[in-house]
Amino acid sequence: MKSEFTPPIGKISNINGQCISLLGNDIDTDRIIPARFLKCVNFDSLGESVFEDDRKTLKGKHPFDLEKNKNASILVVNSNFGCGSSREHAPQALIRWGIKAIIGESFADIFYSNCIAIGIPCFTLPKKSIEEIQNYCDNQFLFLEINLKSSLAKSKDLNFNLEIKESSRKMFLSGEWDATSTLLENKNLIEKKFNQLPYIKFNTNFL
Amino acid sequence: MSQDTLFDKVWDLHKVSSLPGGSDQIFIGLHLIHEVTSPQAFGALKDKNLKVKFPERTVATVDHIVPTDNQSRPFKDNLAEQMIETLEKNCLEHKIKFFNIGSGNQGIVHVVAPELGLTQPGMTIACGDSHTSTHGAFGSIAFGIGTSQVRDVLATQTIAINKLKVRQIWCDKKLSNGVFAKDLVLHIIHKLGVKAGVGFAYEFAGPAIDELSMEERMTICNMSIEGGARCGYINPDDKTFSYIKNKLCAPKSEHWDKALTWWESLKSDENSIYDDVIKLDASKVEPTVTWGITPSQSISINQQIPFLDDLSSNDKLIAKEAYEYMSFKPGQLIKDTPVDVCFIGSCTNGRISDLRVAAKVLKGKKVSKNVKAFAVPGSEKVATEAKQEGLDQIFKDSGFQWREPGCSMCLAMNSDKLIGNQVSASSSNRNFKGRQGSPSGRTLLMSPAMVAAAAVNGKVSDVREFIN
């Protein structure tokens, strides 16, 4: 884990880094960051607790504890990664550990939007390609250069056409993935919508 | 792409703009917050020098970290105390209504909003909690969001989100005696799997759904997310409207009539188009129990834990993990599995009807001496109602501990936790590894009636032997 965490800002068009492979389907956000670490009012210290229980169980053999992975930044996972709880603490813990992008077979919806909202692009690849990357990572270092414009991931030996939702790809390239300012630009439309909604008028007992 | 479903109608009504790239800006009619996922959002507002745009559209309560044994302040746990203080401070500063402990309206956020009449048909509802799908039981479009989106709702009352597809899950016939909404939703998740709902909203419909009470419908929609669907909903009907009528925040007098007229117009058209339709026969559902580490790994009470060869290639990997973690052998019966802890509560099954049905099983019986059993009402209102009906006494007489309202051992953020590899029979929603507070703790999900039966026998039991 990096000692100094600098959150990403602005346009994200290239991510270069070493892959770290984590095997398993349906890895839920309770496993990424167990609930006891949610007792906090900021995200600062979450990086060290990422996968805490899984890592303890594997006594140093968890991918996040292997010496060879200590500088890795591209996480490679299987299907339905990040299912369960909506806790943004999960991607916040991953990004603080050093993860800058995730490639997987598939992602849970809320986890995916949380990743986008904090600047972690999530890409998908078919099961076969994921397995190819994971097997490669077992034996040697895999450095990938990801280009968001072309959605290509390149390395010395392997090349992949990554999939990413078009809306997310555009947001990263334009730097608008931090949605607040984009949403605020429509403040007149928001007011108009508020005044049009039927239930605003009859909810006089609303708090 | 779906057309003319309730989901489409509510989505279109709340759409503020199409954003570059293809997502939509959606107005959030009701925003619910709690102590765990909001502090960083308020922090981000401060950093960006922003205010809460519509403070009257956000309502707060405290649920995840509250102790259920002694709620006097300051809490024994310093971190928990810090979290409730931060929420109190943020609500005060931004003029947000906060239902604190002792207000009479505190409780699990997804229990509290419906019982206050805040949850209404046709609304969009968001909360930094995945079980926000619960509110879809009223014909609202409700979904969980992360902290960055909580920040966006506070700052703009809108979020950027891609429109979901709609899958109708048609439940034919009706549930048989001794089978509950929890069994039905576990059955649905088992049939479809934990990721089938990714990218979808689930519309639950059909005679079996129409038959359910509002509280049972909430149990169904609550667990949509366990099937991967961020949002689940049911078309509103007379049961929905009479549930809301006269609730604290419900429309009153002439406003009620206007609301009712609008609500009655809100439903999926008869010839609406769905992205997918699944049909199942609810009369075939039996009391259902999970045996593994995802909510789809469930079987009927009289079934065996599946063999690897019976499973699809996709399910094999997680099944192997589950056998090992749960110490179960393929082919083993789930019935008669000894349990150490029994938990009745949570946003899935911590409502008054859940306590009533469990009390019916427990009346005149004793909890097995090997079992630690506790009941945690979903809200202060549920607790009060239960006491008025004498349910708390039935629980206590049987040997259950009767606790104060909160999320408790559903996710074990307070001191209610499993120890070591204890087995818990739980009315909650997730059986993930470590979910109930011990990294090796084992959770068997089931209906509250089944939890009560397990508590009495000290092992997984068929509740139909108690009530039929």
- Region class of A195: left (phi > 0), else alpha (psi between -120 and 50), else beta: alpha
Residues B53 and B179 in one domain: yes
Residue A195 lies in a domain: no
> Of B232, B264, B296, which marks where a domain is finished?
B264
- CA–CA gap between residue B428 and residue B437 (Å, rounded): 13
> Counting beta carbons within 10 angstroms of the beta carbon of residue B345, is it exposed (0 to 12), middle (13 to 18) or buried (19 or more)?
buried
- Region class of A19: left (phi > 0), else alpha (psi between -120 and 50), else beta: beta
Q: A177 falls in which pLDDT band (50, 70, 90)? A: confident
pLDDT of residue A10: 92
> Which residue, A169, A128, A144, is CA-closest to B21?
A169
> Which residue, A74, A69, A77, is CA-closest to A141?
A69
For B225-349, where are the alpha helices, taking DSSP H only?
238-244, 253-264, 313-326, 346-349
Residue A113 lies in a domain: yes
Calculate how close chain A gets to B347, using CA atoms only, in Å: 13
- CA–CA gap between residue A182 and residue B25 (Å, rounded): 10
- CA–CA gap between residue B20 and residue A11 (Å, rounded): 15
- Beta strand ranges found along B256-392 (DSSP E): 276-281, 288-290, 298-300, 341-344, 372-375
Residue B117 lies in a domain: yes
Residues B344 and B222 in one domain: no
pLDDT digits (tens, 9 = 90+) for A91-111: 999 999 999 999 999 999 999
For A48-197, where are the alpha helices, taking DSSP H only?
52-58, 89-97, 109-118, 127-139, 166-174, 180-184, 187-196
Residue B282 lies in a domain: no
Could B314 and A183 be called an inter-chain contact, meaning their C-beta atoms sit closer than 8 Å? no
Residue A199 lies in a domain: no
- Residue B435 with chain A: CB contacts under 8 Å: 30, 35
- CA–CA gap between residue A75 and residue B218 (Å, rounded): 36
pLDDT digits (tens, 9 = 90+) for B432-453: 999 999 999 999 999 999 999 9
Q: Does residue B30 sit in helix, strand or coil?
A: strand
- Residue A184 with chain B: CB contacts under 8 Å: 50, 155-156
- CA–CA gap between residue A206 and residue B45 (Å, rounded): 24
Residues B173 and B134 in one domain: yes
pLDDT of residue B227: 98
Question: What is the total count of domains within chain B?
Answer: 2
Residues B394 and B439 in one domain: yes
Calculate how close chain A gets to B251, using CA atoms only, in Å: 5
pLDDT digits (tens, 9 = 90+) for A27-67: 999 999 999 999 999 999 999 999 999 999 999 999 999 99
| CATH code for the domain of B407 | 3.30.499.10
The side-by-side arrangement of strands in the sheet containing B158-161 is B15-18, B24-27, B158-161
pLDDT of residue B314: 85
- Residue A91 with chain B: CB contacts under 8 Å: 146
- CA–CA gap between residue A170 and residue A147 (Å, rounded): 13
Residue B351 lies in a domain: yes
Q: A139 falls in which pLDDT band (50, 70, 90)? A: confident
pLDDT of residue B21: 79
Omega before residue B251 within 30° of 0, cis: no
Residues B27 and B109 in one domain: yes
Residue A76 lies in a domain: yes
pLDDT of residue B468: 64
Residues 296-355 of B with CB under 8 A from A: 314, 317-318, 321
- For residue B221, give Cα distances in angstroms to B22, B79, B248, B350, B457: 27, 32, 23, 14, 30
Could A26 and B318 be called an inter-chain contact, meaning their C-beta atoms sit closer than 8 Å? yes
* Consecutive H or E run containing A145: strand A143-147
Residues B224 and B292 in one domain: no
Calculate how close chain A gets to B177, using CA atoms only, in Å: 31
For B250-291, where are the alpha helices, taking DSSP H only?
253-264
Give Cβ neighbours of residue A203 (< 8 Å, ≥ 6 apart).
B120, B249, B251, B255, B259
- Number of residues that make up chain B: 468
CA B412 and chain centroid, separation? 15
The two structure tokens encoding residue A15: 């991510």
Task: Identify the segments of chain B with pLDDT beneath 50.
Answer: none
Give Cβ neighbours of residue A21 (< 8 Å, ≥ 6 apart).
A63, A76, A133, A134, A137, A138
Residue A171 lies in a domain: yes
Could B146 and A109 be called an inter-chain contact, meaning their C-beta atoms sit closer than 8 Å? no
- Residue B318 with chain A: CB contacts under 8 Å: 24-26
Chain B, nearest residue to A109 by Cα: B198
How large a percentage of chain B has pLDDT more than 90? 98
Q: Closest to A106 (Cβ–Cβ): which among B148, B157, B198?
A: B198
pLDDT of residue B339: 98
> Which residue, A154, A133, A2, is CA-closest to A77?
A133
Residues B204 and B161 in one domain: yes
pLDDT of residue A205 exceeding 80, the answer is: no
Residue A187 lies in a domain: no
- CA–CA gap between residue A3 and residue A46 (Å, rounded): 12
Q: Does residue A28 sit in helix, strand or coil?
A: strand
- CA–CA gap between residue B113 and residue B406 (Å, rounded): 14
Q: A204 falls in which pLDDT band (50, 70, 90)? A: confident
Residue B191 lies in a domain: yes
Q: Closest to B152 (Cβ–Cβ): which among A118, A180, A206?
A: A180
Residues B259 and B295 in one domain: no
Give residue B376's domain range. Answer: 288-467
Q: Does residue A32 sit in helix, strand or coil?
A: helix
Q: A196 falls in which pLDDT band (50, 70, 90)? A: very high
pLDDT of residue A1 exceeding 70, the answer is: no
The two structure tokens encoding residue B319: 């099944």
DSSP class of residue A107 equals B
pLDDT digits (tens, 9 = 90+) for B326-354: 999 999 999 999 999 999 999 999 999 99
A113, A174, A176, A181: best to mutate for the B interface, most B CBs within 10 A:
A113
Residue A196 lies in a domain: no
Residue B242 lies in a domain: yes
- CA–CA gap between residue A66 and residue B302 (Å, rounded): 44
Residue A160 lies in a domain: yes
Whether ipTM tops 0.85, in short, is yes
Give residue A122's domain range. Answer: 14-176
- CA–CA gap between residue B382 and residue A21 (Å, rounded): 46
Residues B413 and B293 in one domain: yes
> Which residue, B216, B267, B215, is CA-closest to B237?
B267
Is B94's Cβ below 8 Å from some Cβ in A? no
CA B443 and chain centroid, separation? 16
Question: What is the total count of domains within chain A?
Answer: 1
For B95-137, where are the alpha helices, taking DSSP H only?
109-116
B45, B82, B140, B148: best to mutate for the A interface, most A CBs within 10 A:
B148
- CA–CA gap between residue A76 and residue A16 (Å, rounded): 14
Residues B213 and B355 in one domain: no
- CA–CA gap between residue B227 and residue B220 (Å, rounded): 11
Beta-strand relationship, A159-161 and B165-172: unpaired
- CA–CA gap between residue B372 and residue B90 (Å, rounded): 37
The two structure tokens encoding residue B125: 């509802």
Q: A178 falls in which pLDDT band (50, 70, 90)? A: confident
Could B439 and A168 be called an inter-chain contact, meaning their C-beta atoms sit closer than 8 Å? no
- CA–CA gap between residue B13 and residue B389 (Å, rounded): 42
Residues 407-426 of B with CB under 8 A from A: 411-413
pLDDT of residue A8 exceeding 60, the answer is: yes
- CA–CA gap between residue A62 and residue B372 (Å, rounded): 34
Largest CA distance in chain B: 63
| CATH code for the domain of A172 | 3.20.19.10
pLDDT of residue A207: 62
CA B320 and chain centroid, separation? 28
Residues B253 and B294 in one domain: no
